[in-house]
Amino acid sequence: MINKTNLNQLIKIARKCSDCAMLHFNKLEQGTINYKKDFSPVTEGDIAVNQIAVSEIQKIFPKLIIVSEEFEKSQEQFNNDNIFWLIDPIDGTKEFINGSPNFTVNFALIKDQTPFFGLIAQPYTGTIWFNFNKKAWKLEKNQNLDHAKNIHCSDVNLKKLTIIASLNHRNKDLDNWIDLVKPANQKSFGSSIKFCVLAEGKADLYPRNTPTMEWDIAAGHSILKAAGGNVVSESGMQIQYGKANFRNKNFLAYGKINSRLPSYFLTGLNEFDKNKYKQDINFAVTAIKNNKLVVFPTETVYGLGAIGNNKTAIKSIYAAKNRPSNNPLIAHTFNKQEAEKIVDFTQTAHLLANQFWPGPLTIILQVKKTALSYLLSQGSSTLAVRVPSHPIALDILEKVKIPILAPSANKSGGVSPTSAIHAKNDFGPNYQGKDWELAQILDYGDCEVGIESTVVDCRGENPIILRHGIITKNMISNATKTKVLTLNKTVKLISPGLLQSHYSPNAEVLLNQKKIIPNSGWLAFGKLPKMLQNHGNLFNLSFNGNLIQAGELLYSGLRFLDATGIQKIQVMPIPKTGIGIAINDRLKRASYKDSKNF
């Protein structure tokens, strides 16, 4: 999508923007500073650079939407677009105002919620960083493209860490995190230059637990990833783009890692009790090893876990959930190498696992001829495997050292849990029954994705999507460079999530509704029609029509409305694109009792 001609054009635009920024920087006066609705400062320089960047990039890419920090209308016009530009005309406005050289011009191209191209220009020095052809590069002032220097992250040395902290956003939780991590060195920078420092191998980690916007980090994320690093959320997932209001969660940017970062590097970004965390994990591991059940968070939904090498423990999952005995379970491992011990990986499986693990993807493969594989698959020739990204799930898996079978932590057929309280409501107050005992529910916040993982059958030449999720058909196609099929008819249950009736609240779910029915509640999406603006029983999945947010809140919304005691839940139409396909799949199965409405 970005060829060499485009790259030269973008570098030229960045330099034009830099010249404009420096012109305003050198003559900046207090009277030229205004404040936006969120009380952040904006200068005449921001506006002038924005006009250049937006108009010039639009000429090269006329069919792509451009979302800019200083062009509010562009933010409102965004409609879950698959490909779009994110622009921050002057990142580090406070530095710009205070006379610091650490401000930048940022361009980023987003595809499938992931940064595909990034460019950062530092006007004061004339330096430009960018990624191209899967590598990261640095250009000094006035150099042409042929003189670009390839840059790389350094290997993260946990015993001698160098961290970068923001100049203007220190707080108590960040100071506590630094005490936990115990770095050897600390550096402070403003703006997205922090990502460039990581990409050049001059630092290891950049933690952030105060608000940022997508245009603040997208270009830096793209460059850092090309240099060998990444940016992940507290649940271990790579930061997504195109979220509601373009607002980021807490994140950790890091250089090249050869092993998993300690979990408290992520969980510690908020208020964190390390001793309690250790006790929780150790208790959970002991309980699982003693064939008891434990509920723990993943990035998708909360899971109900049992050790995978014991028949009694496996049967207790089915007993606790009242789960049909023919509905298979997913085996969770702490890395790909562990998964390769129990199933036979195909080339397609390797490609998808390397791209999306750890994360919300489940792969169906042939089992290996081992006793453990036989137990995990319960005698079937196939097994669903996944490596979750959530640090708590990974800590448990690493310490148990045996794959854990873990469906969603709710009663079978019901609404999946995205918080610990959901699991408590389903299994409490006794947390035990005939042939099962739930020893612990680990409460570590809400799940980031909010719907179950994408499930892909990778046994054949073409991947087949069995259950849709946040990893979409387009993403799978791009990773494998093959045609992706979807399952039209279920012959045999080889994956969870294939039952016609599933994810159902007590209330009847009616889809694509346009008229109010008495004694009903509404699951809304986007701008409310006039008839619903004063409706009492209503849960809006996303007021601005954002599908990522709708997925995150789907099960919370269904549970909220069901708790009101209404008889019917009417659902507004939701677009069947991107993650919207997965949302509609869940709602179709939730409404199966009245499937003619779909």
Q: Label residue 597 by pLDDT band (50, 70, 90).
A: very low
- Tally of CA atoms within 13 A in the half-sphere of 553 that contains its CB: 19
Instruction: Write the DSSP symbol of residue 252.
Output: E
Please determine, for residue 167, whether its predicted confidence score (pLDDT) is greater than 70: no
pLDDT at position 68 is 95
**pLDDT tens digits for 424-441?**
999 999 999 999 999 999
Distance, CA of 229 to CA of 222 (rounded, Å): 9
pLDDT at 486: 92
At 595, the pLDDT band (50, 70, 90 cuts) reads very low
- On average, the pLDDT of the chain sits at 94
Residue 108's DSSP bridge partners are 86, 118
DSSP run (H or E) holding 339: helix 336-339
CA-to-CA distance for 38 and 60, rounded, in angstroms? 32
What residue has token string 């995205």? 418
User: According to CATH, where is 3.90.870.10 located in the chain?
Assistant: 274-486
What pLDDT band is residue 49 in, cutting at 50, 70 and 90?
very high
Where residue 37 falls among pLDDT bands split at 50, 70, 90? confident
Query: pLDDT, tens digit, for every residue of 96-129?
Result: 988 899 999 999 999 999 999 999 999 999 999 9
One-letter amino acid at 467 equals R
Task: List the single range of 34-48, 222-236, 241-255, 300-314 with lowest mean pLDDT.
Answer: 34-48
**pLDDT of 82 higher than 50:** yes
* DSSP letter assigned to residue 552: H
Q: What residues contact residue 175 under an 8 Å CB cut-off, 6+ apart? A: none
| Whole-angstrom distance, CA of residue 135 vs CA of residue 148 | 11
* Residue 476 identity (one-letter amino acid): I
Q: Which residues, other chains included, contact 372 with Cβ-Cβ below 8 Å and sequence gap of 6+?
A: 308, 309, 341, 342, 402, 403
Contact between 583 and 591 under an 8 Å Cβ cutoff? The reply is: no
Q: How confident is the model at residue 31 (pLDDT cuts 50, 70, 90)?
A: low
Q: Which of 328, 331, 406 is nearest to 373 (CA)?
A: 331
Amino acid making up residue 351: L
Assess whether pLDDT exceeds 80 at residue 478.
yes
CA separation for the pair 266, 264 (Å, rounded): 5
**Which is more confidently placed, 165 or 306?**
306
Give the model's pLDDT for residue 192. 95
Which amino acid type is present at position 403? P
**Burial tier of 590 (Cβ tally within 10 Å: 0-12, 13-18, 19+):** buried
Q: Is the pLDDT of residue 533 over 70?
A: yes
**Band of the pLDDT at 497, cuts 50, 70, 90?**
confident
Residue 72 has pLDDT above 90, yes or no: no
| Phi/psi at 80 (5° precision) | 55, 35
How much is the pLDDT for 594?
A: 44
| pLDDT tens digits for range 197-227 | 999 999 999 999 999 999 999 999 999 999 9
Instruction: Give the CB-side neighbour count of residue 151, counting CA atoms within 13 A.
Output: 26
CATH 3.30.540.10 residue window(s) in the chain:
4-146
Residue keyed to tokens 């469906």: 407
Rounded-to-5 percentages of helix, strand, coil across the chain: 35, 25, 40
Residue 342 has pLDDT above 90, yes or no: yes
Residue range(s) of every CATH 3.40.190.80 domain in the chain: 162-267
CATH 3.40.50.11030 residue ranges for the chain: 508-597
pLDDT in tens, 448-467: 999 999 999 999 999 999 99
Nearest alpha-carbon partner for 46 in 10, 95, 110, 2: 95
Work out the average pLDDT over 466-486: 96
Provide mean pLDDT across the span 573-586. 97
In order, the DSSP letters of 107-120 are EEEEETTEEEEEEE
- Mean pLDDT (whole number) for 225-241: 98
Length of the chain: 598
User: What pLDDT shows up at residue 528?
Assistant: 95
Is a pLDDT exceeding 90 seen at residue 445? yes
Q: Tell me the two tokens of residue 381.
A: 């020739």
pLDDT greater than 70 at residue 29: no
CATH superfamily of 4-146: Fructose-1,6-Bisphosphatase, subunit A, domain 1 (3.30.540.10)
CA–CA gap between residue 163 and residue 451 (Å, rounded) = 34
The residue written with tokens 């008495």 in the block is 518
115: its two tokens: 């940064």
Task: Look at residue 35 in the predicted model and tell me its pLDDT.
Answer: 81
- Tell me, letter by letter, the H, E, C secondary structure of 405-417: ECCECCCCCCCCC
**In the CATH hierarchy, which fold is given to the domain comprising 274-486?**
DHBP synthase (3.90.870)
Q: Could you tell me what percent of the chain has a pLDDT over 90? A: 86
Q: Which residue has the higher pLDDT, 271 or 319?
A: 319
Q: Which residues contact 558 (CB under 8 A, 6 or more apart)?
A: 415, 503, 505, 509, 523, 569, 590
Give me the residues paired with residue 47 across strands: none
Residue type, 431: Y
The arithmetic mean of pLDDT across residues 224-237, rounded, is 98
Class of domain 162-267 (CATH, top level): alpha beta
What does the pLDDT average to over 70-95? 90
H/E stretch holding 178 reads: helix 172-181
> Using one digit for the tens of pLDDT, what is the confidence trace for 259-268?
899 999 999 9
Q: Where do the DSSP E strands lie in 69-182?
A: 83-91, 104-111, 114-122, 127-132, 135-139, 149-151, 162-166
- Give 121's strand partners: 105, 128
At residue 171, the pLDDT reads: 86
Percent of the chain with pLDDT over 70: 98
| pLDDT classification of 491: cutoffs 50, 70, 90 | low
CATH of domain 508-597: 3.40.50.11030
Of 549 and 594, which is predicted with more confidence? 549
Model confidence, pTM: 0.95
Q: What is the mean pLDDT of residues 478-491?
A: 87
Handedness of CA 553, 559, 560, 561 (dihedral sign): positive
Q: Is 182 left (phi over 0), alpha (psi -120 to 50) or beta?
A: left
ω into residue 358 within 30 of 0, thus cis?
A: yes
